[in-house]
Homo-oligomer: A and B are copies of this chain.
């Protein structure tokens, strides 16, 4: 299977790449130091990435950012950082990427527990995650060529625990093996329109 992993050089991305590369042909996309470079905020850059990769069997996105700050500190423009990157970046990956997928291909997006169970400073981050959950359910009703679209929503992953634990009081860190299994379930399973919640 030929799999494009956008964000394959990130904390979670590297682990997902390690898992899939044992039995699949992996292309890593990212802003820098990748097989193909992409800026997901720019739909022209997304189009150009897919023209380089050619036909794929699976697309995994583990990329996209949103600004974290106190509600009273976030400006209107700050919300558009997440809207353009993590939200519309992922929507555009589906809009454009579907045309570069083989029949029965899949697209797996990424969000996080904030969509369902936010913490402080995440009015913007929670919002874009929740938006993607509803988008995935909606697009699954319409996407053609037997393509499947799912999203993996993980709790705070083990690898990020030290950095973020103070923002997530009482949250149990999610083992990376469980997170990887979320992506495996989406890519290798048959689900469509699923929000694959990896919470504990």
Contacts and interface: CB of A to CB of B under 8 A. Distances in A.
Contacts of A127: 87, 91, 131-132, 134-135, 138
B120 A141 contact: yes
Q: Which secondary structure characterizes the binding site on chain A?
A: helix
B114 A71 contact: no
B79 A88 contact: yes
Contact of A139 (B87, B114, B123, B129): B123
Interface residues of A, number: 41
B71 A139 contact: yes
A122 B70 CA distance: 31
Interface of A: 43, 70-72, 74, 76, 79, 83, 87-88, 91-92, 95, 114-123, 125-135, 137-139, 141-144
